[in-house]
Structure formats: structure tokens, C-alpha cells
Structure 1
Amino acid sequence: MARHVARRDPRAHWLLLLLGMAVLLAALSFNAMVTNVTGGSGPSNAHASPAPRAVTTGGPVLRLDSPTPIARRIPARIIALTFDDGPDPRWTPQVLDVLRRHHAHATFFLVGARVNEHPELVRRILAEGHEIGSNTFTHVELSAVPAWRAASELSWTRTAIAGVTGREVTLLRPPFSSTTTSLTAPQYQALRDAAGSGHVAVLADRDVKDWQRPGVPAIVQAASPQAGAGAVVLMHDGGGDRSQTVAALDRLLPRLTREGYRFTTVSEGIGAPSSMVPAGAGARLSGTTLRWAQVGAGWLASAMNVLLGVALALGVARLAVQVVCAQLHVRRVRRPSRRRPEVNGPVSVIVPAYNEAANIAATVRSLVASAYPALEVIVVDDGSTDGTAEIVERMRLRGVRVIRQANAGKPAALNTGIRAARAELLVLVDGDTVFQPDTVYRLVQGFADPTVGAISGNTKVANRRRLLGRWQHLEYVIGFNLDRRMYDVLECMPTIPGAIGAFRREVLLGVAGVPSDTLAEDTDLTMKVLRAGWRVVYEEGAIAWTEAPSSLRQLWRQRYRWCYGTMQAMWKHRHALREQDAGGKLGRRGLPYLTVFQIVLPLAAPAVDVFALYGLLFLPWSSLALAWVALLLLQALTAAYALRLDRERLGPLWSLPFQQLVYRQVMYLVVVQSVVTAVVGNRLRWQRMVRTGEAAALVDSAPTGR
């Protein structure tokens, strides 16, 4: 209706929203990658061709940065104990305690992601004289991932260790590796690629396979060299239950010490300088940044799990409250305990109209055809330019008056009609709404209760043949009307729709008429009525057919105004939160409900969609599909229940799955736009929907739509 001067709607937040969703997806993906760390040993491509013979028959320490491989062995009577898959908060300290007790040193090949999780253990390893090497960042098989991923795994691990210890590592133990004799050609090529970044590969002479938990004696036997030979021994301090490893180590060290063996690190064992060199400031800073990125990603993932849990719990609780309240409402209105007196006093119907030529004739004709004994219809033409007033005047219908005024907005038109009305009971109707013959009669019967100040009717979508119309039809029946039954029972109805609502004249005069300082004048007015001490109820049998938006653009404009206006009204009536009288029910029940389910949860919906996309990428599809089907089934049952309450056919339920893929996103993006508009202080102008007259045609051809 009225047009207000407004600044251009903000746009930058869409880029920020996309960027935020991308960052969230990246963080969730990164967290999924670093938490999907497994243990164990043994190559997955055991049937691949073997590595060159010079490597498989040589020593376990391999330098591969030159055309000719260089292999080194551990000298006799020296054992280089090596531990993979750590650090582990339970088993690594126990391994370190055993080593310290027996004055032995070892080399720990650490998983980079676990380094960031337990930096204190990494510092202890280094402080107690042990050597540190790389076991990749997420314990992936280097030969089974793309080259960029393999390079990233090594770089991230080196960076993580540098951030924690201030040292850079060069030794590399490829995950799922074992002795040199089991090295395959793909694994060998992966090690050559790693040598290009300065890594020295360390395999094993003896693999105890403690990840299989063969028993303490078997581990001790597998770790013991024969005939005084030196060896690199592969063990594990993480990746699973390592109790047998700890027990075997405590038995192995004193036994081999008595036999003349010395336990040392890999570098010292081959007589090489320390493999760990001081890291530069840039490497340390990068490591610290990587650690905090991993920690932040973990926090975000945990927060998303909490958010989804809370959202699911709230959704189920909301559904339970809606169902219980709906049953109470149905029991009360359909099987009343006592017969209330009939209301048949004069009623004035006020129709504000601005450029409603497409539907105004059908609207007025349906009102005049009402089966109500004393009815006047007042059409307030608010400066229309399409001949709306002339159409009504040419109809020459008895009991219909036309009032013209300069364009001043819908609230002003309604107030003009209120002042001109002769009756004490007033029905406010949009200019695109069509009533059934019994609608007015059913609507005003609630005024038999002197505490009722206003009554909401049952708005239905007439143009529901297309998919968008079906989605809105489901929304009206499920979201709006189920909520209104609940609001009625809880006595906190926040909105009487502009399409159909009845008021006592004294109520409207008592609250100074229809307010004009918000874009949701119907919500604002209803809240004022509640806070004035009057009851607001819902009449399911008073049906009004309205023309819903027929395009996504029109839907966006309508819901944008509704959402923004609702937030204006909520802010305007925020003091109801502190009220103890009639307004307290609105403050204690209605406003928190609107805040949670119409603002907060929709604002969180983009993050939920990102989590769904993350699920498609990282979670088992079977689990994801089962969860989606379960939620869809719950929604379908809710929709079926609401449709049956409204005596509607169940046919539109087939469109429900598609509603989740398009319509839901439009609705939460509307909330995002509205919140941003409110935060930046823009004043949203009226967004008028272009009428096609389709609703009138549909109602004429199928008046009940059932």
C-alpha cells in the first residue's frame, strides 16, 4: 500500500553468508579428515609389484633424494625402537615411563593431527631425549592418495611439530608400512616423492605387529633380533589398545640389555647427525596457526552437533506441544461442554483496497453472499490507480459502501473504515480474499464470550494447483493453523491475519486503531489487543480463501515484509516480557516462541544445510539417507495430521520432499535478509504483490476446495 522512502537493501551480507558457509564446510571437512585417524600396519596394496631389489634387500633407513637409493642398517647389538600412531594420551605416557625406567631412548613417528591434540606429550618426548619423526598428518597411505594430498600430509605434519617443539623433522615412517621386504613399487614411488621435500624414510627390520594383539610373549619374541644383529623395531604407542605393547616393552628392555644390546634413536643408531633441526619463525607461526585451526574446527564441529541436537529437540518438543494443544482445541470447539448463545448482531466488514482490480469483485460478491442477517461492507479505496473503486461502484450491491481516500497505506485505510463503520463487531478483510457463505457467521460466534476481544479466521490458499501454491498451502495448514490452535490454548495469539480477523469496535478504539509504525500491522495490532487484557482466539470454521504469491520473486517480497514487520512488532512489544498481567502471556509464551522458531532457528538453517552437504561428502550415505527419510516421515505425519484437522485432502503431501529442497531455503534466506535489514537500520518499504485474479477464479469453480 503506502510507499516509504528507503535505502537500497543491503547486499554485502550475501557474500559474507556464502563465505561463512564455505569456511564452515571447510572447517567441518578438515575436522572430519583429522579425526578419521586409524592405526595398524601392513600395506593395503600388498599384491602390487615389489620395489627395486636394491631397496627390498637393503637397510631400513632409506635416503631417496638421488638417482641411486642409499640404504643404511643399524649396527650389531644396537636396537632402534620406533613407535607409530601416537601420541596417545593413555599409552604414550606409559611407553615413556617404561623407557625412562630402563634408561632407553627411541624414535616416535607422530601423527600430525594428534600432535596438535596433545602438544604436551610431544614436548615430553623431546625433553626426555627421544627422537621425533613424521607418520603423516592423518595416517593416510601415501601411495593411495593424490600427489597434492600426500605433499600436504607431510607438510602439515612438519609444520605441526615445528609449532609445538620449534624443530623440523626429516624422518618419515609411511603409515601401513612394515619391513623393507614388503615394500611395493607404489610405496617406493611415494617415498621418492617425499624425499623431494627432504624426508628420509625409515622402515623396519622387525615388525612386531602389536596392532593384532598377539600376546605379550609373541611381541617380545618378534622384537628380539637373532645372533646379536642390530635392528629397527616397529611398535605402536597409539591407534588402539596398546596394553600388550607396554607390558612387552617392560619385559623386552631388561632382557635385551642383559644380552648386551643398547637402545637408541634411529639417527644415533646409524651414526648420523640429529634429524631434527631448529625451525624458523615462519614455520613455528604456521604450526601454531595450524594447531588453532584444528582446535577451532573441532569446536565448530562440536557446536554443530550441539546445534543439531538442540534444533531436533526443540522441533520434537514443538511438535508435541502443537499436537497436544491441537487436540485440546478440537475437543473444546467441536464438542463444547455447554451451548453458548448465538451471536447475530450487526457486523461491518472493512475491505482496504489498493489496486485490487483483479480480485475485488469476487471479494465483495462473496461478502454480500454471506449467510449473515445484518451485514454492511465498506470498501476503502486507498488511492488505487487501476479502477478498483469504480469496479465496486458499478456492481451496485446493496449494503456496500465505497470510501475513497488519497494513498496513505493499509493501516490508514483500515482506520478510515473503522471510523465509518456502524456496527459494534468489525471484520477486517484483505482485498484479495474470498469468503464462504458461512464464514462471517462462524467468525463472530466467539464474541459470545465477553472476554474475547478478537478472533482469527482460517486462511487457505486458493491457487494451489502449481507446485509453489501447494508448498504455501502446506505451510498455511501446518505452520500457521497448527500454531494458531496452540496459541489459542496458550492464550498468546501473536497474529490475526489481515486476510480474516474480527474485532470488537471498543477493542480497536481502546488500542487507538490499527498501528502504522510497523510493516506487520496485523501482528502489531494483535499484540496490542493481548496486552490490553483481551483474549484472542482462533475459529477453524471461518474460512477465507486468499491468493498466494505465484512466483518466487513475489513470495520473497511478501515474506520479507512479513518477517521484517514481525520483528518490528516483537521489538515494539518487548516490554511484555516484564509484564505480569494479560500481556505477560504474550511475553512469557508468544514472544519467546516467535524468537526461537521464526528467527533463531531459521538463522541457523544455513549451517544445518552446510552440515548436510558435509554429510554427503564424509558420512555413510546409508546413514544419511536413513536420517533424512526419518525426518521427512516425521514431517509427513505432522502434515497429514494438520491436513486431517483442517479437513483437507492428503494429496499435496507428495510435494513435501521437494519443499525441503527449495522452499525451506527461501524462507530462511528471507529471515537472514530481514535481520540484516534491521541491524543496519534500513527501513523496508511496502512490497505490494501483483494480483492475477487466479484465486477468485479458482474459488468460483471450486468454492470449498476440498
Structure 2
Amino acid sequence: MTVRSREPRGHWVLLLLGAFALAVLFLLDGFARGAVGEAPHREPVRPAPAPPEVTGGGPVVTLADGTPRGLRMPPRTIALTFDDGPDPEWTPRLLDVLRRRDAHATFFAIGAHIAQHPALTRRVLREGHDIGSHTYTHVDMAAAPAWRDRLELDLTQRALAGAAGVHTRLMRMPYSSRPDGLTEAEWRAAERAGEDGYVIVLADRDTEDWARPGTAEIVRSALAAGRRGEGAVVMLHDSGGDRTQTVAAVEQIIDRLRPMGYRFTTLTQALGLPPAQVAVPVHERAAGWALVTAQRAAATLTGTLGALFALAGILCTARLVMLLIFAHVHMRRARGHPGRVRGHPRRARGAPVLPGVPGYDGLPPDPFPPVSVIVPAYNEEAGIAATVRSLAATDYPGTVEVIVVDDGSTDRTAAIVEALRLPGVRLIRKPNGGKPSALNAGAAAARAEILVLVDGDTVFRHDTIRHLVAPMSDPRVGAVSGNAKVANRGGLLGRWQHIEYVIGFNLDRRMFDVLRCMPTVPGAVGAFRRAALARVGGVPEETLAEDTDLTMAICRTGLRVVYEEKALAWTEAPSSLRQLWRQRYRWCYGTMQAMWKHRRAVVERGGSGRLGRRGLVYLTVFHVLTPLLAPAIDLFALYGLVFLDPAGPLLMWAAFTAAQTAAGAYALWLDGEPIRPLWALPFQQIVYRQLLYLVVVQSVVTAVLGVGLRWQTIRRTGTFGDVPDVPAAR
């Protein structure tokens, strides 16, 4: 496969288009969620009534010639009308009742419900019933502006065209009832619709079944008549809540009136009006199909993301609890075994045999074995002096040599190291070949069996080497991870990274240590056995996260990789969002490379299996999949704030932030750090977290496209200062 070195760019356009599409779908679903059925609305105070010719006329109003004309049902003719559907539960049950009794009705459907249930809409028409418009979202047409009323009616027509290939001539306004209760504002809205060709339908008898007054009361309201034998338009509902009473009432209404000579038919048939449904041309069907498809996709999307939102909350909470439990266990074990591991444990059955490793060859372990510290350096003039001085100032009782490998630097890195003239410090120059090649060159030149690998921007405490080497007294330990801390933690970005290092990285490492599946010894501070390094072929050069790749390889040999929180090192973190992006892009991409390289560990046994089934699964879920879904989940949270009850998302966010703050305080306490920086944690959730999620998205796209990512160098600012005045490199 040909590997390209250029990073992908066009996918950001696709990502933005995807985000825009998600936003549009959210807006569409949020708009449609106004379809709440028969719900309370604000009644106007002392409203002016509609004109007398309307309030005193029949329940069906036409404006065919520009003059309102009220039509009444013929004698012994009942038009059963159902509002707010179609509903997947109640509309089919009502249709079954009507079919068994050979009765027909008129359904005033909400456009959003039509779009969501197109098959049910087609069934209503197929069984001989009429469909009318009840607006798209059950809007109060008297209170809404004229443009909104027209939009609602137009969208409903489009939904009907997409679902069934028809438009309708009938319309009933939400919150309307009988003609004598029509207000002037309602009439103005109805008049505008009538001028557009709609037949306005009100009711003779409003059963108010939406309030569930009881089946007997619904039947009584429907049967009430001014005089015996008159016809009526009866208002009922097939959606908006439990309609058990309505279904039972319809059966009784038909069974009681039919023996008296009543017929049950549609409005248009009863009044001799043109058919309610009008076939539409192909282009109207296509536009309607697009609306129906988008509406259904939006509903599916919000439902899925709602479930993912809940799942993500459960997973993140479980992870937080799990990290705290394992951190407590790790702390108890550390207190039970202060300093280094004591004794001379026997080799466990099946453990690897490493020639030359004390404890495996019958020789007693040296409490302070010689140590070689390897510092790969490429253009590290800003901090290399502080790094080397801190290493030379160690209080480690054994022999320590420091090897600085200048990897073809073009600045003063090598000259600065030479100018220091510190005892025990050697400088090796080599052409630029990358950090892994520099580490391997240093390891080849090292004299000791214990190798400490240090980045060129990192400063050790005087006792760091001693704490790093102490766990090596256990011959089953092949590598030790130190505790890397952010040195330049001033400013908001520095505090965010400091919090991430302590709460994220170090809590993770405590858990990995307890579970014996450590995936990464950080390049800033770590110790390795030379024999373990040789067993895996040295520092690997195939991935951009050589520290993770190397650690995983050592885990798969069966050797343990442990975490020593007392081995402190301070490293310079990126000082700008651009620099942070470059660093995390390399980390994330390289980690995924290492995970793919060592994927066989998932099905292997022993230490390799622990790494695979514990470490790799954890990284996949919480460092790849969850960040990939996070942008969509964040959009859903915004959707919930705008269109749903905002109390839920706000409460969940506040609770999770509070839990993170409490966990952060515990993590800082474990590390001996003050808790003052935690004030920046809530703000971290707004900017910093999203940036890291986008890093994962970029990394996944890069990996899927098969693009070879180049090493991302970070500009050093000289956090530790103290740079000797030496000539620049030539």
C-alpha cells in the first residue's frame, strides 16, 4: 500500500457539512416536537368574538366566493372527527372499530405525525376516510403570525404529498371548538386559510375526550342534540395521550345511534363537497418525500442520540467510579509497600526467562544497580540545560551515566550540552532519524542494564531516578512509568493540561497498574530493563507513539509494567492551542497505530491477554469511540436545552461536573497537589474537551484514509530557562 505523507484536509469540509446536517435535523425535530396534541394554551382575556355570520352558522365554513358560509350536517348524519393523529397505538385501534362497524370518519392530522407515520396515513385513506390538516406542529394559529400559519399548513401539505401523494382541502385549527366559541383572532387565521382554498371545520359537539372525563361522559357529550334526528360534527382525538376511553366511546356512539337510523360518514360525503384529497404531481411528491425522510431521520437521530447520551453518561460515571476505586486500591498497596518492592520473589510458572536479569539467573538483586539515562534531543536548546542539570543532580546512590543523543539538531542543543561540562554526561551526535532511532542509539551506547528514558524538555527531581529504579528489585517488572507533571501550568491552557495530567493520565495509570495492563510508559519519565528492551527488538520505529508501542510490546512478553507515583518529573506542555493540537494529534494517531499493531493481544493469554482484554478494550471505548460520538452528543445536549426540558441536561452536566471536581480533588490530593486549579475544570468542558475530541476525529480519518502522519514537532518556550550563552550550531 502506498503511504502518503500529506495530511487529509478535505474531510474537515465533510465534517462541517455533517455538523450542519445534524444541526438541521435537530432543528427540524425540535420544530416538529411542537406537535404535542391537545395541550393547554394561553386563553386571551375577554376576546372579541368572531362575526355573527360565523358564530351563528354551521360548523363547516367555506369562503368559495369570498363570503363565509356555514354548512350544517344533514339530518341523522354524524361526522366523527379525530384530531392530533396519526398515532401508532390509538389510530389503528380506532380504524379497527370503524372498519368492523362499516363507518367512516375524518382525521385531522398533524403534519409532523404524518411524516413520522406515512404508512398509517396511507391506511387511513385506503380504508375510505378523509384526512384534513391540523397544522404541522399543533400551533395556535390565532396567536402565531400569518407567515407561521402559512408555513404550518404548507408543511402539512408537503408531508401528505410525501406520505400518500395527495393534498387536502380540509383544515381544522388547533384549540378551536364550536362556531359560537370562535374569537375574532381565530377567525382572522381561519379566514386566511379559507382564502387559500381550505374548508374550515369546527364542531357541533366537543367531547373534550383529551381530558379523559370517562367513557360515559364522552358518549353523553357526543349524543347531546338540540332536537331529535339532527346531524352533527363530533370532535374526538386519536393522539395526545391515553385514548382508551375514546376507543370505547366510539364503539358505543355508533352502536347506540345506528339503530336510530344514523349514518357515519366523512365530511365531504355528508355535505356533497368535492373530495377532500387531491392527487399531486410527481415533483410535489418528491419534495414531500424529502420532508418525510428528513423528519423520520431527525426523529431516529434524536432518539438514538438520546440513548447514546444516557449510555455515555452511564459509561463516564462508571469510569469515574472505577478510576477512584482503583486509585484507592493503588494508594493502599503503595502504603503497604513503601519505597521499593522488598524481598526476592520467585519466578512464577510460565514467566519469561531473561538472561542477565537478577532474580532469574540465581543472582541476588543489586539494591542500587547502575543506571544509564538516555535523553533524545532534537532542537531542544530552550530546555536541554535544565534537563541535563537535573539528571546530574540526582541523589541516586548507584552509578548514573547520562547520554544525550543529539538527533541532528539545527539549533544550539549539542553546543549547550558540551558547554555544561558536567561529570557523567556524554553527548552522542547522529544524523536526524527520529526519536526512536535516537533512543536506540543511546541504548546501544549505554553501559548499564537499567535504562531511564527522558525527553529533552523534562526536569527530574533529585530522587526521581531512585524511585524509578526501586520497583526493578522485583525481577517480574520490565518497565516502570513515572509521574509526569505539567511545569508551565500558568494560564488557563496550562491549568487545563495540569488537570488532565493529574486526573486523566495518572488516575488511568493507577488503574492500569492494579489491573496489570499498563499501555504506556510516558516518554518523559520511564525506566526499562535492557533485557526487556532487547527482547522486543528495541524501541519500535513503526508508530508515532513509540512509548506506547514499546510498553505494549513489553506487556505482551509477560513482564509487568508498573506505575511509581513518587518518580516525579516536570515537562513542558504546549503553550498554545495550535501546539497542543499538534502534540495530541501525534499522540492519538500513534496510540491507535500501536493498538492496531498489538490487536492480537485481545485473543492471547497471560500478560498479553490482560493488555488486550483490559487495556486495549478500555482505550478503544474511552479514548476512541466515546470521543468520536462526543461532538454529536454535545449537539444533542444543546438540542435538549433548546427544545426539551432544559432541567435534565443542565442537571446531568452539573452533576457530572461536580463528580469530576470531587474526583479531581482526590486525584490532586493523591499527587500532593493543591486543589486550587479545579476552578478551571468547568471551563475545560466547554473548549478543551471539544478540541481533544476533534483530535480523535482527525486521527481516525487519517488512519482510515491510510495517510502517513509525519512527526509533529512542538516549539519549546524554555519553561525552565537557564540557557548557557553558546554559539549557534552551524
Range of TM-score over shorter length = over 0.9
Aligned length: 694
In 2, Cα distance between the equivalents of 1:477 and 1:540? 11
Q: 1:603-648: CA deviations, max 9, x gaps?
A: 1111111111111211223333211110101111111111111111
2:236 alignment partner in structure 1: 235
In 2, Cα distance between the equivalents of 1:297 and 1:85? 20
Q: 1:242-270: CA deviations, max 9, x gaps?
A: 34334443443354445554433222232
In 1, Cα distance between the equivalents of 2:93 and 2:556? 67
> Quick one: which amino acid aligns to residue 26 of structure 2?
L
1:252 alignment partner in structure 2: 253
> Quick one: which amino acid aligns to residue 264 of structure 1?
T
In 2, Cα distance between the equivalents of 1:156 and 1:586? 55
2:265 alignment partner in structure 1: 264
1:152 alignment partner in structure 2: 151
Q: 1:123-146: CA deviations, max 9, x gaps?
A: 443344332212222322223334
1:617 to 642, 649, 668: 642
2:355 corresponds to 1:356: no
Q: CA deviation at 1:485?
A: 1.1
1:366 alignment partner in structure 2: 390
> Quick one: which amino acid aligns to residue 237 of structure 1?
D
In 2, Cα distance between the equivalents of 1:101 and 1:688? 77
> Quick one: which amino acid aligns to residue 347 of structure 1?
V
2:207 alignment partner in structure 1: 208
Greater CA deviation, 303-312 or 490-499? 303-312
Q: CA deviation at 1:150?
A: 2.6
In 1, Cα distance between the equivalents of 2:613 and 2:411? 45
Greater CA deviation, 87-96 or 412-421? 87-96
Greater CA deviation, 194-203 or 554-563? 194-203
1:25 to 16, 23, 26: 23
1:346 alignment partner in structure 2: 370
- What SS does the aligned partner of 1:79 have? strand
Q: CA deviation at 1:35?
A: 4.6
Greater CA deviation, 499-508 or 273-282? 273-282
Change (3 A) 1:409 1:43: closer
Query: Cα RMSD between the aligned structures?
Result: 2.5
Greater CA deviation, 459-468 or 152-161? 152-161
2:188 alignment partner in structure 1: 189
1:471 to 492, 496, 500: 496
In 2, Cα distance between the equivalents of 1:214 and 1:509? 82
Q: How does 1:423-462 map to 2 (within 5 A)?
A: 423-462=448-487
1:226 alignment partner in structure 2: 226
In 1, Cα distance between the equivalents of 2:23 and 2:550? 42
Change (3 A) 1:168 1:537: same
1:594 alignment partner in structure 2: 619
Identity across the alignment (%): 58
2:309 alignment partner in structure 1: 308
1:108 alignment partner in structure 2: 107
2:38 corresponds to 1:40: yes
Change (3 A) 1:473 1:260: same
In 1, Cα distance between the equivalents of 2:114 and 2:618? 45
Q: Would the aligned equivalents of 2:32 and 2:137 in 1 still touch at CA under 8 Å?
A: yes
Tell me, which stretches of 5 or more residues in structure 2 are unaligned? 344-364, 724-730
Change (3 A) 1:481 1:83: same
- What SS does the aligned partner of 1:497 have? coil
Q: Would the aligned equivalents of 2:371 and 2:400 in 1 still touch at CA under 8 Å?
A: yes
> Quick one: which amino acid aligns to residue 303 of structure 1?
T
Change (3 A) 1:465 1:200: same
2:61 alignment partner in structure 1: 62
Change (3 A) 1:423 1:100: closer
In 1, Cα distance between the equivalents of 2:411 and 2:621? 41
Q: 1:468-512: CA deviations, max 9, x gaps?
A: 111101111111111111111111111111111111122222222
- What SS does the aligned partner of 2:272 have? coil
- What SS does the aligned partner of 2:563 have? strand
2:527 to 502, 523, 528: 502
In 2, Cα distance between the equivalents of 1:653 and 1:579? 41
2:404 alignment partner in structure 1: 379
Q: Would the aligned equivalents of 1:348 and 1:375 in 2 still touch at CA under 8 Å?
A: yes
Q: 1:426-453: CA deviations, max 9, x gaps?
A: 1111111111110111110011001111
1:702 alignment partner in structure 2: none
Change (3 A) 1:43 1:318: closer
> Quick one: which amino acid aligns to residue 152 of structure 2?
E
Greater CA deviation, 27-36 or 370-379? 27-36
Q: Would the aligned equivalents of 1:434 and 1:696 in 2 still touch at CA under 8 Å?
A: no
Q: CA deviation at 1:98?
A: 4.5
Q: CA deviation at 1:515?
A: 1.6
Q: Would the aligned equivalents of 1:50 and 1:183 in 2 still touch at CA under 8 Å?
A: yes
2:668 to 643, 655, 667: 643
> Quick one: which amino acid aligns to residue 176 of structure 2?
S
Q: CA deviation at 1:216?
A: 4.1
2:419 corresponds to 1:394: yes
- What SS does the aligned partner of 2:448 have? coil
2:308 corresponds to 1:284: no
- What SS does the aligned partner of 1:144 have? coil
2:590 to 546, 562, 565: 565
- What SS does the aligned partner of 1:647 have? coil
Q: 1:46-75: CA deviations, max 9, x gaps?
A: 433322333222222222465432332333
Q: CA deviation at 1:344?
A: 1.0
Q: Would the aligned equivalents of 2:406 and 2:427 in 1 still touch at CA under 8 Å?
A: yes
- What SS does the aligned partner of 1:514 have? coil
In 2, Cα distance between the equivalents of 1:42 and 1:422? 83
Q: 1:553-606: CA deviations, max 9, x gaps?
A: 111111111111111112222222232243222222221111111111111111
Greater CA deviation, 32-41 or 311-320? 32-41
- What SS does the aligned partner of 1:401 have? strand
> Quick one: which amino acid aligns to residue 603 of structure 2?
R
2:653 to 603, 611, 628: 628
Q: CA deviation at 1:276?
A: 1.8
In 2, Cα distance between the equivalents of 1:556 and 1:318? 25
Q: Would the aligned equivalents of 2:480 and 2:564 in 1 still touch at CA under 8 Å?
A: yes
> Quick one: which amino acid aligns to residue 36 of structure 2?
T
- What SS does the aligned partner of 2:8 have? coil
Q: Would the aligned equivalents of 1:88 and 1:114 in 2 still touch at CA under 8 Å?
A: yes
Greater CA deviation, 245-254 or 325-334? 245-254
In 1, Cα distance between the equivalents of 2:715 and 2:99? 82
2:601 corresponds to 1:576: yes
> Quick one: which amino acid aligns to residue 144 of structure 1?
A
In 2, Cα distance between the equivalents of 1:146 and 1:631? 41
Greater CA deviation, 305-314 or 403-412? 305-314
1:527 alignment partner in structure 2: 552
- What SS does the aligned partner of 2:276 have? coil
Q: CA deviation at 1:323?
A: 2.2
Q: CA deviation at 1:121?
A: 4.2
In 1, Cα distance between the equivalents of 2:22 and 2:574? 33
- What SS does the aligned partner of 2:84 have? strand
Runs of 4+ in 1 over 6 A off after TM superposition: none
2:333 alignment partner in structure 1: 332
- What SS does the aligned partner of 1:143 have? coil
Change (3 A) 1:396 1:98: closer
Change (3 A) 1:500 1:216: closer
> Quick one: which amino acid aligns to residue 675 of structure 2?
L
Q: Would the aligned equivalents of 2:4 and 2:706 in 1 still touch at CA under 8 Å?
A: no
Q: CA deviation at 1:363?
A: 0.9
